[in-house]
Structure 1
Amino acid sequence: MNFSEKLIVDDNALFKIKNEIQAEFSHGLNYHGTDVSMIPTFVYGLPDGTECGTYLSLDLGGTNMRVCEVNLSGDRNFSISQEKYKITEDLKTGEFTELFSYMAKSIGHFISTKSQSKQGQRIPLGFTFSFPVDQSAINSGKLIGFTKGFNAKNAVGKDVVETLQDCLNKQNIPVDVVALVNDTVGTLLAHSYQSGGAKIGAIFGTGTNGAYLEDLTEIKKLDDEAKNPKAGSKMVVNTEWGNVDNARSVLPITEWDDIVDSASINPRRQSFEKLISGMYLGEILRRLLVDLHAKQEFLSNTSTLPEAFNTQYGLDTALMSDSLRDSDGETTHTKQVLGALGVSAENVRELDAQLFRDASQLIGLRAARFSACALAAVIESEASENAAGDINIGLDGSVIEFFPRFEQSIRDALNVILGNQAEKRIKIGLAKDGSGVGAALCALQAIKQGVAKK
């Protein structure tokens, strides 16, 4: 069997994977501690584009922290001003309270230099905190542990909303932290506002995840207080679908996927994500090409591959996108990519360039078809509930935005799984900046739910 046959996902596999995802969704809605967590967000509704007002958002998740002010005009449009603030290594590894004190100080600086709000007026803020938390309300969540190079001391078990609010109060900064939000949930909220109502939000970028609005009666693990009908009959659920099929019961795993997984920091975890997301697609291609070189099927006229091919994550997924700018039979851009990877021009044969492009295309197509399975798993429940309405989906992330034909390949696979009639009902749009605009909209939703006063 050649490499292309191993990367093809046939139509029968799509249905099996979709069914497995639905089964794991159901398990996660019923029980705590499951692989696919189906995390309740305590967001009981979605914006429809008519909302107005000014809200702040704070996005913490990497080297930089971002403070935004979002002005909603009520006609699905908004304006945004923002400022980035550097998070030093000392802040990442020092006392937890020092990190949050700096965050509060940065918010204060933003208000004094960028904000259009009246001086002294209290402003609601949505907090995008991209680390594991045990969330118990829309405005409450205790830190489970830091990731991404953060390791602040005395942090685990602390309520991140309460801590930030305390720091703001000590510095007399007129801001109320009213909502804690995940970036995928933010994507759903942002697209719902900009499109006039949405059903599903998903990210296909460095990682992958999805969120959707679920009936409270289906979230069996929720306690009775969270099912208070006064709040609403539905709640946004953060699926954490990247963790689907860690048991590998249905996913067609190749030997190259196995190598990527074994060498990762979390073997046999995030199995679905490792087949889809931008962090891993280039690495799958690299491992495949190294294998083909050993078999003298790729760059066979060179005894050793350039350093990039022998370095973990040395082949960025963006280079696959660059290669796919070539149409069928062309290799101009692909040869440039190989040159950027250190292959000398005299060693690049037409056959090698075509193989690189074909492998990129197949790995990307496979990822898109897997992605469609996750979307279809949610869409089917929405379709059965409202057979006449549109299914409006907001997508964000570098893969969906920049990888050639990724969105179209998702659409094609959805037509296979759901039938051609689904194409008329499924509306897909890019939802930009869920961590900024979406967090501000989550603050608005918190006010609607009575968590805070505007």
Structure 2
Amino acid sequence: MTMLPAYVHAMPRGCERGTFVALDVGGSNLRIAVVRFTTNSNESSTREILYQTGHALDEAIRNLDGRSFFLWIASQLEGVVAVSRGSGWIDPGVVDIGLTWSFPLESHSVNTGKILSMGKGFTAISQDIIGLDLKTLFEDSCAAVGLEVRLRAVVNDAVAVLLSHLNVDPRRTKIGLIVGTGVNASVLVPSTVLDEERLMRCDPREIERCSDCVINTELSLFGAGVLPRTRWDDEVDAENEIPGFQPLEMMCSGRYMPEIARRIVRDRVLRKRNGQEEAATGLGRIYGLDAETMSVVEGALDVAFARQQLLARVGGTVSIAEVRAMRSVFYAVSCRAAAVIAAALVAVTLAVLPPETPGGETGGAGSEVVVAVTGSVIEKYAGFRARVQEFANLLGRRWNKRLVIAVERDGPLLGGAVGAACNE
């Protein structure tokens, strides 16, 4: 009941066509792209990003009120549309849009949905727009800057990753996964598995067209009372905006994983300096360690090089022995995160995907499930993706499941375009 259906009534089949503008409103960035799908003689589709822009969602943007935030998005979109029309990629008139919304959304159809609490430091933005329809808010904001748009599809980022890879591998792809600033997953299931209460919330005509459905699992919300926690987990959670809100994400995401590691280092490595750790190193600052630094230090072949990189990034002073201990901490924290992610993927496969049909097309016993993945942690963190795959292999063998991790770069951006192409 905590999972959110995305009523995408037409699934990608690898033969999409047309040119669409895609927006990806993520936890750290706004990206806008013009995406063109073409179909060859074999009726298979190829795709190309013709133009792309990116804008950081810094503190100034995060502190806007909700309506001002959408007006800012519309103004960025206006510039992309102007360039696209000047290049002849899109025609004058109404612009077809696919929007990836990387926050909780209660969908009622393929292009409408009620905005829920955003989290991820976006409290100021979400306060005055919770409960509003995203489609109406977005199209009205665009109209306010003189831009006429038609929102073809609104999808969650995890849903977008799945849709994007379905465009490439429509037969085997069943799960989409994000492991970056945040953590989430989506899964493709027959619409018949939806709870009756969910079906009552949307247009019956949409359900009639919806033989398959993508579910936004809101995976980050799971794990309370199940995942074993340390006192450092409890510390970070207690200081979060909403304590206890995202138990799984607190252990696995690029935002929280480094802070847990930093606190362990503070207590188990640097306090041996007789209370001088904050003066001696930049690791004494809350959220003073990021996932990129953690990855570089952990993945370095030489401990002296790891020390050099750490000092360049966080400042202060640190010894070779301390760096060696830090690397052990970073490895332990990132390994736990990879194991939890793998366990979650196997759990989704067991609990949500239906049993295998005689044709072997679903995610049942003995079948192969492709998991499309994206995000800074699973794509760029040293050895992380390989460890997720290794743990998934280990757990999958116990249940006769085979999960294949497939990177889908730009999945959240491309998935919005795929959703628009499928739902014209």
Question: What interval of TM-score do these two structures reach, taking the shorter chain for normalisation?
Answer: 0.7 to 0.9
1:27-57 CA distance string (max 9 Å, x none): x2xxxxxxxx210111235313221211111
Q: Say if 2:5 is the partner of 1:40.
A: yes
What TM-score comes out, normalization by structure 1 length?
Answer: 0.79
Match of residue 330, structure 2, among 355, 360, 368: 360
Q: Say if 2:409 is the partner of 1:432.
A: yes
- CA distance in 2 between partners of 1:259 and 1:315 (Å): 16
* Alpha-carbon distance change, 334 to 137 in structure 1, aligned in 2, over 3 angstroms: same
1:173-215 CA distance string (max 9 Å, x none): 4531121111111111112213344111001111110001123
Alignment of 1:106-121 (within 5 A): 106-115=76-85, 116-120=88-92
Q: Secondary structure at the match of 2:14?
A: coil
Please report how far the alpha carbon of residue 313 of structure 1 lies from its aligned counterpart in structure 2 after TM superposition: 0.8
Match of residue 400, structure 1, among 378, 388, 391: 378
Aligned to 2:359: none
Aligned to 2:319: 348
* Alpha-carbon distance change, 355 to 119 in structure 1, aligned in 2, over 3 angstroms: same
Q: Say if 2:19 is the partner of 1:54.
A: yes
Letter in 2 for 1:43: V
- CA distance in 2 between partners of 1:418 and 1:322 (Å): 30
* Alpha-carbon distance change, 288 to 94 in structure 1, aligned in 2, over 3 angstroms: closer
Please report how far the alpha carbon of residue 262 of structure 1 lies from its aligned counterpart in structure 2 after TM superposition: 1.8
Does the 8 Å contact 1:44/1:236 carry over to 2? no
- CA distance in 2 between partners of 1:200 and 1:260 (Å): 29
What TM-score comes out, normalization by structure 2 length?
Answer: 0.84
Aligned to 1:155: 129
Aligned to 1:268: 244
* Alpha-carbon distance change, 363 to 102 in structure 1, aligned in 2, over 3 angstroms: closer
Aligned to 1:177: 151
Aligned to 1:232: 210
Which ranges of structure 1 fall in alignment gaps of 5 or more residues?
1-27, 29-36, 448-454
* Alpha-carbon distance change, 227 to 127 in structure 1, aligned in 2, over 3 angstroms: same
Does the 8 Å contact 1:391/1:426 carry over to 2? yes
Letter in 1 for 2:181: T
Match of residue 48, structure 2, among 71, 76, 79: 79
Letter in 2 for 1:162: T
Does the 8 Å contact 2:252/2:340 carry over to 1? yes
* Alpha-carbon distance change, 211 to 94 in structure 1, aligned in 2, over 3 angstroms: closer
Please report how far the alpha carbon of residue 121 of structure 1 lies from its aligned counterpart in structure 2 after TM superposition: 5.2
1:400-441 CA distance string (max 9 Å, x none): 111222122112212222218968x43321112233211111
- CA distance in 2 between partners of 1:281 and 1:87 (Å): 21
Does the 8 Å contact 1:133/1:144 carry over to 2? yes
1:384-408 CA distance string (max 9 Å, x none): 3235643111000111111222122
Match of residue 255, structure 2, among 279, 284, 309: 279
- CA distance in 2 between partners of 1:49 and 1:406 (Å): 29
Please report how far the alpha carbon of residue 443 of structure 1 lies from its aligned counterpart in structure 2 after TM superposition: 1.1
Aligned to 1:377: 347
Does the 8 Å contact 2:252/2:337 carry over to 1? yes
Alignment of 1:116-131 (within 5 A): 116-120=88-92, 122-131=94-103
Q: What percent identity do the matched residue pairs reach?
A: 28
Two-structure CA RMSD over aligned residues (Å): 3.0
* Alpha-carbon distance change, 418 to 133 in structure 1, aligned in 2, over 3 angstroms: closer
